[in-house]
Chain A
């Protein structure tokens, strides 16, 4: 059986990259993202006794990281909500595809909970079970949120085409 520091080190090696990327996309600067990654793993060290019971380590880590991010914005009293993500404040790319710009707008207009769920699926490629664990909601809710999000995006994307035709 692996020792607890060894287990945490393994978790760090496997998931710190994607967690950092998740945090960096939602933080104003990379230093804050680094700090939050450190806070996330400090929380893991504090909860070492829970490690054997963790069935989905990736989802567990994303859950902690998400909690750290929310706490950070709460403490900062920053008007930037957790759901406001990197691509909203990122400069528009030299749009080769008009549909990408339209999609960006469509994603922006999604309700927070739908967007949050969709991000975990498309950006981090978490399974429905993992998303349910991260957001602490039933798996049926995850499915219905994802379906609603895709339905809304499709509706927004097909509107201009319909008006043009």
Chain B
């Protein structure tokens, strides 16, 4: 057997991570090779000593089952997060509502003047603008208003 493979097997054996079949085969091999058997014993002793130090008793305390408390704590955190986002949402909405009426009032006091433009120009301008654009809507509204006032004037004359 190659020395590096043999060493790997001996290490895994000392660390108690060798599968049982391989362990049996390795035991047979070690029985016929005293030098390797000594090496195996040394490795096992090294691991035993290290384990003895590392497994020295740790302080033990009877821990109460806290799962229900932890689940409640988690739920409280979730509720708190929801409440916080609700408060932030309400606050932002209030700010928006508080700011908008002013604009609407100002718009009511100073309504934008309706443009008085030539109908042909208006038509070509409307066709050149994107369908849902604000400017197109505004021009359409202006043209409608203008034609309504014209027809009112004509009816009065008649």
Contacts and interface: CB of A to CB of B under 8 A. Distances in A.
Nearest to A155: B46
Interface in B50-102: 50-56, 58-61, 63, 65-68, 70-71, 73-74
A103 B70 contact: no
A87 to B, nearest CB: 6
Interface string A107-137: 1000000000011011100011000000000
A64 interface: no
B60 to A, nearest CB: 7
A90 B65 CA distance: 29
Contacts of A41: 66-67, 70
Nearest to A110: B50
Contacts of B123: none
B103 interface: no
A12 B8 contact: no
Interface in A117-165: 118-119, 121-123, 127-128, 143, 146-147, 150-151, 153-154, 157-158
Contacts of A123: 51, 54-55
Interface residues of B, number: 32
A12 B71 CA distance: 13
A14 interface: no
A157 B49 CA distance: 10
Interface stretch (B10-18, B20-28, B106-114, B129-137): B10-18
A103 B53 contact: yes
A16 B63 contact: yes
Contacts of B66: 12, 38, 41
B47 interface: yes
Contacts of A12: 65-67
